[in-house]
A and B are shown apart, each in its own frame.
Chain A
């Protein structure tokens, strides 16, 4: 039977709770506390302390790696980006063009349909425009809340 598989002594049992809450340095056997002294003397408890330190280090390493490998994105700074209101006149013009275009046109059974993409894994409010064959559609996302869909008519024509 290896040292670390020996039965726990009374001293091991007495210090079991301390082992579960001790500072990492005590688990390394540093210092003069009862637990640190016992860990230096007892192969069984020393092995348990090493297991705790090792598994904790594995968890720390895994979380650190996860944090480091996150995708790098540039931060858009609000003061340097245009305020949201700049898009309103453009949206209004585009919307009026769209409405005028629709009014001129006879009801089109194949008009673009606008729906919301329901992505189970990562739902995002991205409009999906299903343009019928032979139609061009322009989609402008001007702000977080305004999306303009522009029916440009038949491909290669008006």
Chain B
């Protein structure tokens, strides 16, 4: 029996093949199906919805230009994830100078103070900051596995990693994030 992600991937592949054959509106339907997923992937690399949207749009353009050459040797999601990563890396290179200037003029986001009154919003912000601090690979694997529910074997394929390496990244990311979550609780701090 196929999992939900396998079914979704199969549908994307069907649309991609139809678009390759030049079937009318197939690429539009493919783009519509892909856009939320591309945005979500991009959010592992950038911190705002607008930035993620810029990257997702660029990935769609690249997909449109290169779809004719895609041979379906790998899953279409694997290919598009690789395009998303490269596009995000280019985006960071282009924005590097601006970010350096921004960092000089603006304060880094402040961590919510730990305490008994840490509410849901503060906890979310604390976890989000820890997530942003993770090394890229760890953040990507954690995001795909624990936040998007993609099986580790598929993640390893998407990131061109061995399953063991993917697992190591996942465990390190989980340990960092979960330690932070537990530290945020005063009962835990007392005991440690």
Q: Which residues does A use to contact B, with CB under 8 Å? A: 4-5, 7-8, 17, 19-22, 24, 48, 51-52, 55-56, 58-60, 62-64, 66-73, 75-79, 120, 123
Q: Is the interface of B mostly helix, strand, loop or mixed?
A: helix
Report, as a range, how many residues of chain B touch the other chain. 35 or more
| CB-CB nearest in chain B for A79 | B64
Q: Are B61 and A78 in contact (CB under 8 A)?
A: yes
Q: How far is the CB of B111 from chain A (nearest CB, A)?
A: 15
17 A-B interface contacts by CB (under 8 A): A7-B191, A48-B188, A51-B182, A55-B124, A59-B147, A60-B148, A63-B40, A66-B48, A66-B52, A67-B36, A67-B49, A68-B39, A70-B49, A76-B61, A77-B27, A78-B64, A123-B98
Q: How far is the CB of B3 from chain A (nearest CB, A)?
A: 15
Picked from A52, A69, A72, A73, the residue with its CB within 8 Å of the CB of B178 is A52
Which chain A residues border B86 with CB–CB below 8 Å? none
- With most chain B CB atoms within 10 A of its CB, the pick from A19, A56, A79 is A56
Which chain B residues border A77 with CB–CB below 8 Å? 27, 64
Which chain A residues border B52 with CB–CB below 8 Å? 66-67, 70
Query: Among the listed stretches B6-14, B153-161, B169-177, which one makes contact with chain A, having 4 or more residues with CB under 8 Å of it?
Result: B169-177
Q: How far is the CB of B51 from chain A (nearest CB, A)?
A: 9
Which chain A residues border B185 with CB–CB below 8 Å? 48, 51
Residue B2, interface by CB 8 Å: no
Which chain B residues border A70 with CB–CB below 8 Å? 39, 49-50, 52-53, 56
Q: Are A71 and B182 in contact (CB under 8 A)?
A: no
Q: Are B178 and A75 in contact (CB under 8 A)?
A: no
